[in-house]
Each structure stands twice: as structure tokens, then as C-alpha cells.
Amino acid sequence: MLKQCCACKLMLEPLKFNRDRSRSDGLNRKCRACSSAACSRWYEDNKASVAARSAEWREVNSDREKARVAAWRAANALRKRNTEVLYYAAHAEAKRASRRERHKRDSASLADGYVCAVLIEGTSLSRRDIPMALIELKREQLQVHRLLTGLDQAINGEPK
């Protein structure tokens, strides 16, 4: 027995339709492909209102949502860890390249994280232990050192 989709007008097997218990034959009027396309179109047309409604629900139910996420993480800790391991294994080279690029950028601009790492290198201190004033002073020292090194290289004719 075949059923006709009301959207694409194709005659398809009943397995190609989602269930709809309110209908006499128990199947949706549209085939799964047409239903999916219609839902996608509706979502694209209503993205802003869906996002607003979702944000409002999360705000009203933040405690409930936090509890749900915490329960899921507790129940799926091993699954989450395995997913992370597989992801990092598959993207290891890209992550290393990204880290190298970030290090180049941060060291060139003397970013807070880079200066802090220079300060705590070889100590048991953490980044939180270093006050911002000390980071600023170390940044100035590194800038002066770079200027002097560049001047020395310019005088002696050494390449940078």
C-alpha cells in the first residue's frame, strides 16, 4: 500500500512518513523529507523569535537548566571524556598550530598572559598570584630589553 505526500505529490511507502495518531491512517500528510524541509524553512523564517523564546525560557528556568546539565554531566562523564579525547586526537595538529600562532601573537604584543607566564616561569606561583602592577612593570622591562637588543643588533650589524 502506498501513500501520497500532500507536498511533493509522490506515492511513497508508509515508512517514508512520520507517525500522526490523530489521523485515520496514523501517518503524517507530508513525507519525512517534505516535513523536514518545511520545519527548516519555518526555523529560518522565525530564527529571531525562537532565539528570544529560548533565552527567555533559560532565564526563567536557569536553576532547573543548571540542574539538568549537571545531572547529564554526572551521568555521562565517561561519554563526555571519550568524546573530548577523540576530538583532541583528531584535531591535535590544528590545536598545536593554533597554540603556536597565539604564542607568536601574544609574545609580539606582550599580552598579559605571556608576560605573566614569563614572570611565573620556574616558580611555584600561579597566574592568580601575580598582581597586575607587577605584570605592567615586567612588560615595560621586556619592551626596554627588546629595544636595547634591537639597538645592539643595529650597531653590530647582526640580523634580527
What is the spatial distance between Cα 85 and Cα 12, in angstroms, rounded to a whole number?
43
Q: Which helix or strand (DSSP H or E) is residue 3 part of?
A: strand 3-4
- Residue 93's CB: how many other CB atoms inside 10 A? 8
Q: What is the reported pLDDT for 26?
A: 95
Q: What is the reported pLDDT for 157?
A: 80
Q: What is the reported pLDDT for 159?
A: 66
| Domain segments of the chain as ranges | 3-45, 47-89, 93-156
Instruction: Cell numbers for 17, please give them.
Output: 512518513
Alpha-helical regions (H) of 47-159: 47-60, 62-75, 77-90, 92-109, 112-120, 132-156
Q: What is the reported pLDDT for 5?
A: 96
For residue 35, the number of C-alpha atoms closer than 13 Å in the C-beta half-sphere is 12
What is the spatial distance between Cα 102 and Cα 117, in angstroms, rounded to a whole number?
14
Q: Among all chains, which residue has been given the C-alpha cell 599580552?
A: 111
Of 37, 27, 23, which Cα lies nearest the Cα of 4? 27
DSSP 72: H
Positions of the chain with pLDDT lower than 50, given as ranges: none
Question: 0.75 exceeded by the pTM?
Answer: no
Q: What is the reported pLDDT for 158?
A: 73
What is the spatial distance between Cα 127 and Cα 102, in angstroms, rounded to a whole number?
18
